[in-house]
Amino acid sequence: MNCKVCVDAGVCKMKTLITAVENETGMVELDIKSDCPDILKLSWKLEPVSPYSEVESEFYKSEIYRLAQETPIPHTACPVPSAMIKAIEVAGGLGLKRDVSIKFIEDDSEAGLSD
């Protein structure tokens, strides 16, 4: 399977395009295009990853988060590493394509939570 994700990281105004493709061995390969030099540095270290091990690993054992720590990605709230894992999940057939969002709200009623 193949999956493309575009991330607008917010106030930094840097955009990242993530293309995840499952290869013939079942591993997922990521191709990253980004305005962010730190994300590009991380992408140079990426190897094909097992979608099962990446999606099911603990945060600190995730290959993506390990690379984000090593590179380092200087802003812990950066949504790009999480988006990479979501793309791996979908490309590996472990999840469905569904948009994710972070919204800033003024009142709890705007959250849309059920009672």
- What pLDDT score does 43 carry? 97
Q: Report if residue 88 sits inside a domain.
A: yes
- What pLDDT score does 79 carry? 96
Q: Report if residue 112 sits inside a domain.
A: no
Q: Which residues contact 104 (CB under 8 A, 6 or more apart)?
A: none
> Could you tell me if 18 and 7 are in contact, meaning their C-beta atoms sit under 8 angstroms apart?
yes
Specify the CATH number for the domain of residue 57.
Answer: 3.90.1010
User: How many CB atoms within 10 Å of residue 80?
Assistant: 24
Q: Report if residue 79 sits inside a domain.
A: yes
- What pLDDT score does 82 carry? 96
The CA R_g of the chain, rounded to the nearest whole Å, is 15
Q: Which residue has the tokens 């290959």?
A: 63
| Three-state DSSP string of 62-83 | CHHHHHHHHCCCCCCCCCHHHH
Q: Is pLDDT at 78 greater than 90 in this prediction? A: yes
User: How many CB atoms within 10 Å of residue 6?
Assistant: 10
pTM of the predicted structure, to 2 decimals: 0.93
Q: What is the mean pLDDT of residues 78-86?
A: 97
- What pLDDT score does 87 carry? 98
Q: Is pLDDT at 115 greater than 80 in this prediction? A: no
Q: Report if residue 113 sits inside a domain.
A: no
Domain that holds residue 59: 2-103
- DSSP class of residue 49 equals B
Give strand ranges (E) for 9-79.
15-22, 28-34
Domain count, the chain: 1
Q: Is pLDDT at 45 greater than 80 in this prediction? A: yes
The per-residue pLDDT for range 7-44, each reduced to its tens digit, is 999 899 999 999 999 999 999 999 999 999 999 999 99
Q: Report if residue 108 sits inside a domain.
A: no
What letter represents residue 87's amino acid? A
